[in-house]
Chain A
């Protein structure tokens, strides 16, 4: 058999592409997975501090490009820090819902065992400078909250019960599916502003108060149902920087199933079937000519029947014939964000004015003293809460400490991100000036910050701009074309912390299905036994020798 021929060549090792590679390899397709970067993860990578600085310098030098994703207004503080290699800094800081497509894929694929995870310890909502409120994500929390009046507690409880259930056909929702969510909360549940803000931004993860009600409710339900699976929090964080490490886990699984990995090589040429026809000797009539991929500093060209590419990796020459898999269940594809990465050497304190008024039986079983200065936590800033910040969008600050295995001892990474909506921030405003107010607000929670202001050791600011234009070949593409197309482009991911992971898993499943339907019809004899039998995304995890649970 030809060693350089593959069923699929996948370009880009972002999470979506990596999950796709694992799924295709596992059912027996021969996969080559290529990334032009010298590291795994593409735009979702986790980088050491020196890699991150190199990344930033590269994009600061070269801000204009025709890429689907652009990083602009990149600036960082100059200094390198000691133990730079012990940082694992995520380009895509995100949280994993304990129930959802990503967790399903992690468990079903066996990739879960390659990585470490921990619970997000705290979610707080920013009320004003120096004041946070913790988010009541459970009945206990609602009961314990001293600040909520009894009547509001009842309303809140009623809402939580409603949102956790099958609300689709309930009278509260009918006719209000598209109503701005905060209006819905007022109209259907008489919730006050405070409760509206908490629900809108920390349970539903809306960007603006006018996000539609039905999808917002679906997100609240996901949040509520995720609580309790692995612990009180709905969210997990991945060790070593999350997304990049998890992408590598899927790549590792793909490699175990025989996928070949090539990183850090430039693609010199990727010739589409038409031109290959002229150059390459004619193939047997049954299969038309394959793609030929030539890589820099690589012995021989690779060939394949199908190319799957991330938007960023897609060679210009293929963009016309490509089939762009539409995003499905991705709340904010293509939304642009302002980001900041700050490294600090003092913990943030999350103590709030809200202290438990009593401790009930179940909770007292797990005292959490370190919760006051956690290793994995998030602050949500609703619109207009920060002076000089956005009037229309909510921002998040995610804190990761040593317990997430992504920093050296005594250091924390603070990730800020603000979706760029509402047109408030013009392109001549720098990412730094857009996010400074949020950084100051977050740093005001540094332990002892009043007496001794907290200064970051390192900062990086940038805009991550996603093109909303899909260079689709033509809107009225023929219906059968989807399974004919031999260039598939993965759907855009969702850059928001709460959505990224599940969107990537959902996108990967859609890509996998498109790819396998193409491959099945093209080469019915290949791997068809296995492929035909399983309709699920992942074949059952075989009791392989790798499984360490059994001794006998």
Chain B
């Protein structure tokens, strides 16, 4: 165990994972097993509608890591995962069912989507799920392993039902993400991954390549001030005196949104915004 550093607690590292793979390979079951240590009997589980996500906190290598895991389930039957799921992700968990050849054969399609949407440094792990169904296995371990190697992915076999390999699958991905500095450099440019507060994410503030404007990429939900180096938080010159009230309201709104203000920094009151906007 790493000796505890007696400094003030470091902010957690945010880490975004995405679960993909054919329908009913067990993505949601893996997630439930990992985050809640639970298993829903076969007849109680159902195909995910829409999208699901979980936040899971873990300590790894002496660091606090906050995982947000997106379960894209159900959607993929119709090939409807939006590219924006991929954009923010640092790790991808591709799942197939060892007792379903079809789910394994669909993997190239999944990889080709990855090629389109994520950089090659994003960590991938291939998970062969349902190893408890050894008797009806259709994909040998060696085949899965060889494929994963070819696709530059980690590999593990698991069972959401018996919990075999589940924790390991997630831990290995996160482990490797932490060891991949490029992921932290690009994540702010990818936007929305919220790495600003993360320890490793500090490097991410460098922004995207060639970003010449302050901050390069702008996170709208954080509004201005921090991004613009504080230089633009003043009332613009051209606002005449009678308009100061409106401007002040806008400023107030910014302060409410501003980093480090209220904990509900995202909690913009929409009615208020609409009013302010309407006045503008």
Binding site for B on A (CB under 8 A): 38, 40, 48, 85, 99-101, 103-104, 106-108, 110, 112-119, 121, 138-139, 160-161, 164-166, 221-222, 224-225, 227-232, 236, 239-240, 245, 248-249, 251-252, 254-265, 362, 365-366, 368-371, 374-375, 401-403, 405, 409, 534-541, 543, 545-551
Q: Which of B124-132, B145-153, B205-213 contacts A (4 or more CB under 8 A)?
A: B205-213
Name the residue in A40, A239, A257, A537 with the highest tally of chain B Cβ atoms < 10 Å from its Cβ.
Answer: A239
Q: What string of 1s and 0s marks CB contacts (under 8 Å) between B42-79 and chain A?
A: 00000001110111010000001010100000110011
Contact, CB under 8 Å: A222 / B84: no
Contact of A261 among B14, B57, B75, B277 (CB under 8 A): B75
Within 8 A of A (CB), among B131-190: 189-190
A229 to B257 CA separation, bound complex (whole angstroms): 12
Contact, CB under 8 Å: A252 / B189: no
Q: B243 within 8 Å of A by Cβ?
A: yes
The B interface, classified by DSSP as helix, strand, loop or mixed, is: loop
Contacts of B220 in A (CB 8 A): 103, 106-107, 112-113, 117, 230, 236
Contact, CB under 8 Å: A232 / B232: yes
Contact of B87 among A121, A240, A534 (CB under 8 A): A240
Binding site for A on B (CB under 8 A): 11-12, 14, 49-51, 53-55, 57, 64, 66, 68, 74-75, 78-80, 82-85, 87-88, 115-116, 189-192, 194, 197, 208-221, 223-224, 227-229, 231-232, 234, 236-240, 242-243, 250, 254, 257, 263-271, 273-274, 277, 280
Contacts of B85 in A (CB 8 A): 252
Contacts of A259 in B (CB 8 A): 50
Given contacts A138-B236, A264-B79, contact A113 B231 (CB under 8 A): no
Contact, CB under 8 Å: A401 / B210: yes
10 tightest Cβ-Cβ pairs between the two chains A and B? A116-B191, A370-B212, A112-B220, A248-B82, A108-B270, A548-B194, A261-B80, A164-B238, A112-B221, A536-B271
Contact, CB under 8 Å: B240 / A161: yes
Q: A473 to chain B: closest CB distance in Å?
A: 31
Given contacts A117-B220, A374-B212, A551-B64, contact A245 B232 (CB under 8 A): no
Contact, CB under 8 Å: A549 / B197: yes
A348 to B187 CA separation, bound complex (whole angstroms): 28
Q: B93 to chain A: closest CB distance in Å?
A: 18
Given contacts A536-B271, A548-B194, 14 further A-B contacts (CB under 8 A): A107-B220, A113-B194, A113-B221, A116-B218, A119-B213, A139-B237, A228-B232, A252-B82, A252-B85, A256-B50, A403-B208, A545-B68, A547-B266, A548-B66
Contact of B280 among A99, A228, A401 (CB under 8 A): A99
Q: Can you sample 14 A-B contacts with CB below 8 Å?
A: A85-B116, A110-B221, A113-B194, A113-B266, A118-B216, A139-B237, A225-B280, A229-B250, A236-B220, A264-B79, A403-B216, A534-B271, A545-B68, A551-B66
A231 to B225 CA separation, bound complex (whole angstroms): 9
A260 to B77 CA separation, bound complex (whole angstroms): 11
Which partner residue on chain A sits nearest B269 by CB separation?
A540
A17 to B80 CA separation, bound complex (whole angstroms): 16
Q: B64 to chain A: closest CB distance in Å?
A: 7
Q: A301 to chain B: closest CB distance in Å?
A: 15
Contact, CB under 8 Å: B232 / A231: yes
Which partner residue on chain A sits nearest B220 by CB separation?
A112
Contact, CB under 8 Å: B267 / A541: yes
Contact of B218 among A231, A264, A536 (CB under 8 A): A231
Which partner residue on chain B sits nearest A38 by CB separation?
B79
Contact, CB under 8 Å: A224 / B238: yes
A119 to B215 CA separation, bound complex (whole angstroms): 9
Contact, CB under 8 Å: A48 / B116: yes
Q: A447 to chain B: closest CB distance in Å?
A: 14
Contact, CB under 8 Å: A114 / B88: yes
Name the residue in B214, B223, B238, B263 with the highest tally of chain A Cβ atoms < 10 Å from its Cβ.
Answer: B238
Contact, CB under 8 Å: B243 / A165: yes
Contact, CB under 8 Å: B219 / A375: no
Q: B15 to chain A: closest CB distance in Å?
A: 10
Q: B253 to chain A: closest CB distance in Å?
A: 10
Contact of B209 among A225, A409, A538, A539 (CB under 8 A): A409
A363 to B250 CA separation, bound complex (whole angstroms): 22
Contacts of A249 in B (CB 8 A): 82, 84
Contact, CB under 8 Å: B189 / A405: yes
Q: B192 to chain A: closest CB distance in Å?
A: 5
Contact, CB under 8 Å: B273 / A119: no
Contact, CB under 8 Å: A113 / B219: yes
Contacts of A240 in B (CB 8 A): 83, 87
Contact, CB under 8 Å: B232 / A121: no
